[in-house]
Amino acid sequence: MNSRRILLVEDEQDIADLVVLHLDDLCDEIVVANDGHEGLRQATMRDWSLIILDLRLPGPDGLEICRAVRRERSYQPILMLTSKSLELDRVLGLDTGADDYLTKPFSVLELAARVRAILRRVENLQKPASQDAADKHSIQAGSIYIDPARRHVTLDGISVELTAREFDLLEHFARHPGRVFRRAELLDRVWGYGHEGYEHTVNSHINRLRSKIEGDPSRPEVIVTVWGVGYKFSDQAV
Ligand code: CA
């Protein structure tokens, strides 16, 4: 098992101390960067099991760091700490790609629960060609091809770069064509937790996924909105 290394980029010392105190037992190493410059350097220097990024930082902010990391490693799990829900559209936006977020002030217990869920997921992915993944057959749905063992997706034969979460979401949908999922259900199954009030995360990830796999993301034909209920993977695509 690879060691669990967490990078925390947070300029407020009391919050950083509190987070370290509560996450220390969950990981082998937790490194704190107190400003955006150090955060950017550490974040792009190597792989982390998880990067926890405060949005507002002196120097490059959380969004800039997030983008820089995504340019190099689409799979890196990133959890953003934000202070205003107004900022959510940017945090979860198409060009940024945070996997998850918490709004300040947050409960450390909730943070620990999120971190545990993310680390569990990362470790499942790291298991050497897990039997589980090898047993899962690939999926062809219209022009989309999903290879679960390699966690690779192509669209009309062209490779599509997805974050880990976008991949999980797409695979989950594609395994259940025609089935309608409520947002809370998707949070529970794909994110591994079902906190109320975080449905926004689901919408944003679906928008991001659509921008990568739909011919016309404003008229989605693969992941379809079912008004008042949730989303489904079109059975027409299969
Ligand atoms: Ca801050």
CATH (domain of 12): 3.40.50.2300
Q: Are residues 212 and 119 in the same domain?
A: no
> Which range, of 40-44, 95-99, 126-130, 177-181, averages the lowest pLDDT?
126-130
Q: Are residues 166 and 107 in the same domain?
A: no
Distance (Å) from CA 18 to ligand 1 centroid: 14
Q: Are residues 149 and 200 in the same domain?
A: yes
pLDDT of 237: 56
Q: Are residues 12 and 114 in the same domain?
A: yes
Distance (Å) from CA 35 to ligand 1 centroid: 9
Distance (Å) from CA 95 to ligand 1 centroid: 21
Q: Are residues 35 and 93 in the same domain?
A: yes
CATH of the domain at 189: 1.10.10.10
Q: Are residues 116 and 9 in the same domain?
A: yes
Distance (Å) from CA 57 to ligand 1 centroid: 5
Distance (Å) from CA 14 to ligand 1 centroid: 11
* Model-wide pTM > 0.85: no
Instruction: Average the pLDDT over 119-129 and give the result.
Output: 73
Number of domains in the chain: 2
Whether residue 129 has pLDDT greater than 70: no
- What would the pLDDT profile of 136-173 be if each residue is shown by its tens digit? 789 999 899 999 988 999 999 999 999 989 999 999 99
Instruction: Write the DSSP assignment of the chain as a string of letters.
Output: ----EEEEE-S-HHHHHHHHHHHGGG-SEEEEE-SHHHHHHHHHHS--SEEEEESS-SSS-HHHHHHHHHHH-TT--EEEEES-GGGHHHHTSTTT--SEEEESS--HHHHHHHHHHHHHHHHHHHSTT-HHHHHSPPEEETTEEEETTTTEEEETTEEE---HHHHHHHHHHHTSTT-EEEHHHHIIIIIS---TT-HHHHHHHHHHHHHHH-SSTTS-SSEEEETTTEEEE-GGG-
pLDDT of 73: 85
Distance (Å) from CA 232 to ligand 1 centroid: 37
Q: Are residues 116 and 151 in the same domain?
A: no
Distance (Å) from CA 56 to ligand 1 centroid: 4
Distance (Å) from CA 201 to ligand 1 centroid: 21
Q: Are residues 22 and 120 in the same domain?
A: yes
Quote the mean pLDDT of the chain.
88
Whether residue 238 has pLDDT greater than 60: no
- What would the pLDDT profile of 45-97 be if each residue is shown by its tens digit? 999 999 999 999 999 999 999 999 988 888 899 999 988 766 777 777 666 77
Instruction: Give the residue from 97, 126, 155 where a domain finishes.
Output: 126
Q: Are residues 86 and 187 in the same domain?
A: no
Whether residue 32 has pLDDT greater than 70: yes
Distance (Å) from CA 194 to ligand 1 centroid: 27
Instruction: Give the residue from 95, 126, 157 where a domain finishes.
Output: 126
Q: Can you give the residue range of the structural domain that contains 30?
A: 5-126
Q: Are residues 118 and 136 in the same domain?
A: no
Which is nearest to 55 in space by CA: 17, 99, 103, 23? 103
Distance (Å) from CA 209 to ligand 1 centroid: 29
Distance (Å) from CA 157 to ligand 1 centroid: 43
Q: Which long-range contacts (CB under 8 A, 24 or more apart) does 121-129 make?
A: 121/77, 121/164, 121/168, 121/192, 122/49, 122/50, 122/77, 122/164, 123/1, 123/2, 125/151, 125/164, 126/1, 126/2
Q: Are residues 122 and 187 in the same domain?
A: no
Instruction: Give the residue from 86, 103, 126 where a domain finishes.
Output: 126
Q: Are residues 163 and 87 in the same domain?
A: no
